[in-house]
Amino acid sequence: MSESANETPRRFKKVAARIFHRIVELAARLLFSIIYYGSNEKVPPINNILLLESASSLAFKIRTKKVSSVEVVESFIARIKEVNPIINSMVDNRFAAALEEAKSADELIASGQKSETVLAKEKPFLGVPFTTKECLQSEGLSFSAGLYKRRAIKGTRDADAVACMKKAGAILLGVTNVSELAMWWESHNYVHGRSRNPYNASRIVGGSSGGEGAVLAAGASPIGIGSDIGGSIRMPCFFNGIFGHKPSKFIVSNEGQFPSPSDEDHASFLGLGPMGRYASDLLPILRVVADKNASKLKLDSPVDMKKVKVFYAEDDGGSSFISPVDPDIKASLRNVITYLEKAHGIKAQKVSLKPLSMSGPIWLARMKSRSGSRFAQELSNNEGNLNIAWELLKWLLCMSHHTLIALFTVVMEGFGVKYGSPKHQYLVEQSKQLQMQLTDMLGDDGVFLYPTHPTPAPFHNEPLIKPFNFAYAGIFNIMGFPATHIPLGLGSEGLPIGIQAVGTYGNDHLTIAMAVELEKAFGGWVPPSVTV
């Protein structure tokens, strides 16, 4: 039989799978719409103008005595107490210690021992509060990573990125909710419960940095640190309408993240980075958390937007098991392309990159380990292997302390592509081809604009019906490239939408510059509600 004859049934199967998946998605959306009918609570309005400031602005005002650190910290603590009963994002705090550190910061500034210029250089975030996700170790705070067996564990030291922020003068308020073992894109676990979206409490906040995304969007923290191995910074930023940056690989230390990557390949996929409401905060935070590796980037290089090459794609080319891109997201991307041409004369080029349609399988294949299944061991806190059959039975009887998706992940590990098999080798080769295509296309002066996620925030549990949608973000972790999520306002459902900007290795300054530019043009973060 000829190759073309073989191709016809393959195409038929692909189209049939796509149609079936779409029908299932639409049926699930109808069901969840009925379940959550009328459940559209949002956080109370922001009524304190300090809560609307960027971290960089707050740092300047604290250094120049226009406002005290104590006043700033007290304002954000009050906001956390106001919104957390609704969004359940903050899961452990150090409010008393934070206030003492704020007093010390104010005393240092009042003493005049160091000038404002020196303080700006040595402690750029002096007196400014921040938060971080719970699976990044923070001394004295919960460090369970959403795993019930670790529910009593507290951090004994600070993760490197957290320590860098403290060294820069920032004041840690507390830690925020994650998905179980930070391996799913809804933040829900049996230690701290489920986090809810500040724009609509019936919708997800994303994962695994979902609690972080929610607390920032609600105006309850000015900046935060997240981690991203499959979109875990960018998806929560997308669902919550804020900015987030996954750095180039190995720039920010992974030390203190749990679970830790199993090998060097997986370590290269994981990136710790900044999250915040304002694009202007991304670069200074990245400079701090990158520490000595900041010199490997071009963070001080000015970016002339007129000289930036721009490429874009509106979707992945048609994956059978990934949702179609929402029309609002496509429209927002087109608006960006139009703006860049009118404002800077940029002739953006629309491209089609075939491996993008295999983003989900590529990510799953690259996450395979030579040693085989690991997730069952991690669910037992690396103290043996989880008995998956027994745990599934317990879950059916409402007796399990594990989320259903975590148990499904263990099951699927045994059925997925085998490490070293021909299929695995093919997908690894496809990922390398995509990396070369992007590298050749973008060079050191190009940016690729692409949806961060295909749909606005789904209802709670709805991701179970569309598990592979994370692939829009996750594929760039495999490349080790920098990627910045850029919010572009609210869509027709009143939920945040946006896109991501991707660059080649070491060109983080380009993707962040694009975020700064588009924030000016389209407004960036839109508070859930404001009365000031």
Candidates 133, 166, 249, 466; catalytic one: 133
List 225's β-bridge partners, or say none: 132, 274
Cα–Cα dist 156/340, whole Å: 48
Q: Report yes or no: 495 and 522 within 8 Å, Cβ to Cβ.
A: no
Longest dimension (CA), the chain: 85
Candidates 232, 253, 268, 400; catalytic one: 232
**Residue keyed to tokens 């200074």:** 284
What DSSP string describes 340-388? HHHHH----EE---GGGGGHHHHHHHHT--TT---HHHHHTTTSS---H
- Per the annotation, the verdict on 253 as an active-site residue is no
Cα–Cα dist 195/212, whole Å: 10
The two counts, helices (H) then strands (E), for the chain are 18, 13
- Per the annotation, the verdict on 246 as an active-site residue is no
3 state DSSP class of 483: strand
Please name the amino acid found at residue 411: V
**Residue keyed to tokens 């302390």:** 401
Cα–Cα dist 504/515, whole Å: 16
- Which residue, 215, 226, 210, 214, is CA-closest to 275? 226
Cβ-in-10-Å burial (0-12, 13-18, 19+) of 461 comes to: middle
- Per the annotation, the verdict on 138 as an active-site residue is no
Candidates 75, 142, 208, 332; catalytic one: 208
What DSSP string describes 164-230? HHHHTT-EEEEEE---GGG-SSS-EETTTEE--BTTBTTB---SSSHHHHHHHHTTS-SEEEEEESS
Tokens coding 344: 């800077």
Name the strands in the sheet holding 129-133, side by side, starting at the edge strand that comes first in the sequence.
90-93, 171-176, 129-133, 223-228, 271-276, 243-246, 483-490, 496-502, 446-451, 309-312, 349-350
CA distances from 486 to 198, 377, 424, 515 (A): 18, 36, 33, 6
Radius of gyration of the chain from Cα atoms?
22
- Cα end-to-end distance, the chain, whole Å: 71
Cα–Cα dist 23/93, whole Å: 44
Beta-carbon contacts of residue 459 (< 8 Å; ≥ 6 apart)? 29, 32, 33, 35, 36, 202, 203, 204
Catalytic residues: 133, 208, 232
